[in-house]
Chain A
C-alpha cells in the first residue's frame, strides 16, 4: 500500500489557481522529491498533505488517513519541517527538543537524536546564537522527535553552505534507512538528483513528469558530449568523419565532441589509431537541470 496518495488535487486562492491537477503516490521507504520552480504549487501540495490546507478538489491519503478528518491521528505519525519556520530567539536547543517531545506519545531518545544531528554540544545554546546549518538541523530534529513514519521536509538545505548540504543529505539517507518515508520539497535540482528515488516535477500546478532522476534525464538525453585535451595535434576530419559524431568544436586547449550513443568508444578508438591520447577526458551527461529546462521550457 502506498504511504502517500494524492489523486487529482486542485487548490485555488481566490482567482489564482495554485494547484491545477496533481496526482502521485509515494511508496514505503522511498525518498520522494517534489521539484519545480518557485510558485509552481509545490508548497501548496505538501500543505494539503500535512492537513494545513483544505483541498478544493481531489483525494489525499497519508498512511491511509485523511489529513483533514483524521488530523489528530495523523499528527502523531507525520513529522514536518516547514519552510522558514523558526523558534523563539531565547529558547535553547535542549528546551526546544524537550518541549516538542512532550507533544508525542512515543518520542525518540533526544540524546541520540541530538548526537546524530551534530547538536550535542549546542544543547544549552539559544536559538538566536545557532548558525544557519545548526538551525536547520534542529528543525529536522523537531520533525523527527515524534518518531514519525513519514517526514515532509520543505526546502531542506536552502541557505546552507555546500559542506552542510552534503551532511544533511547523508543524514536524510540515514533516516530513510531507519524506515522513515521521506517527502522532500526542493527547487535544487542537484539535491533532487542525488537524494531522491523518484520525483514529481511540478510546473504551473501540474505534474510535468513523474520518474526516477535517471528516468527523467534519459527522456531528454538525446546526445552526449566529450571534452578532452589531445596529446598531439588533431585534424578535425579524423573525428567528424565518424558516424557517431555530430559536431566538433574547440576551445583554447580542449576539443569538444558532441554525438550519439557510443560516442566515447568510437572517439577513443579513432584517436588510438593515430596514437593520440585524450588527456583530461570528461564525459558530460544531461543533468536533471537540463531535463528540467527541456521538460518545462523554463529555468528552475
Chain B
C-alpha cells in the first residue's frame, strides 16, 4: 500500500494533479449534481409548472375578453415561469442551505482554503441555471404545443426574467439566513410561496382580479414579475414601476440576507 499522504499522481481526469480544477467550478458542478438528485424538488419546481401549462393549454380554446383578449394559456405562461423561479429559489435553495448550516457543512468549509461563501455562489448559480432551464421548457412547450407566441421583446423578457430570478434568489438567501434548520426553511418557504403566487395570479389571473387586489398585486414581488414578463411577451417594454419594484425587492432581500446570514 502506498503511503497515505503520497502526492497526487497524474491521471486521465487530472493530467496535472498539482493544479486541480478550480474550486468554484467544482463546487458549482457538485451543487448542480446534488440538485439533480432531488426528484421531489425537480418535479415540483420544473415538471409541475410544465404539466400545469399543458392542462391550461388543453382547457383554453378561444381568446377571452375578460383576460384582456388573451387565451387562458397565454395568461398563465408568465405565472408558471414565476412559479418555477419561486419554487427553486424560495423553497428548494433555502432548505438546502439551512441544512448545510445545521449539519455544520458550512463551518467545515470555513476551515478549508475556499471558505463557505463560495458554496453560496455555487448554490445561486445552480438554481439560476435550473430556473432558466425550466423557463425554456415552459416557453418551448407553450410555443410548440399551443402556439403561444415567443417573447415579442426578447431583451425586455430576459431583463424581466433575470430580475425575477434575482429577487427570488435574494429572498431565498434571506429565508436561509433566518431559518434555524432545514425543516424550518422549507416551512417558511412554503408560507411565502402561496401568498406570493396568489398575487401572481395563480388562482385568479390578474386581469380578472378585483381592482383593489390588482393594485396590491402590482406591489408584490411576483405581481410585478408576472406583469413584467407578460408585457415583454406581448412585445412591449415592461412598465417601469414593475421593473423598479423587482429591483427594489432584490436589493432589500439581498441586503437583509447579508445582514442576517450566519455561517453556523
Interface residues of A (CB under 8 A from B): 50-52, 72, 75-76, 78, 80, 82, 84-88, 90-91, 95, 98-110, 112-113, 115-117, 142, 144, 146-147, 171, 174-175, 178-180
Contacts and interface: CB of A to CB of B under 8 A. Distances in A.
Contact of B30 (A75, A84, A91, A144): A91
Q: Is the interface of B mostly helix, strand, loop or mixed?
A: loop
A113 B100 contact: no
Contacts of A110: 8
Contact of A76 (B25, B105, B113): B113
A144 B2 CA distance: 15
Which 3 pairs show the lowest CB-CB distances between chains A and B? A80-B111, A102-B26, A85-B104
Contact of B4 (A52, A82, A178): A178
Contact of B1 (A76, A99, A115, A175): A115
Contacts of A72: 113
B249 to A, nearest CB: 30
A174 B25 CA distance: 33
B2 A99 contact: no
B258 interface: no
B105 A109 contact: no
Contact of A90 (B3, B37, B114): B37
A179 B6 CA distance: 11
B34 A90 contact: yes
Residue among A50, A98, A100, A109 with most chain B CB within 10 A: A109
Interface in B69-100: 99-100
A95 B36 CA distance: 15
Contacts of A117: 4
A182 to B, nearest CB: 12
B111 A109 contact: no
Given A95-B33, A103-B113, A88 B4 contact: no
Contacts of B33: 95
Nearest to A92: B33
B60 to A, nearest CB: 39
Interface string B167-209: 0000000000000000000000000000000000000000000
Given A78-B111, A110-B8, 10 more contacts: A82-B104, A85-B104, A86-B103, A104-B20, A105-B113, A112-B4, A116-B1, A144-B4, A171-B4, A178-B5
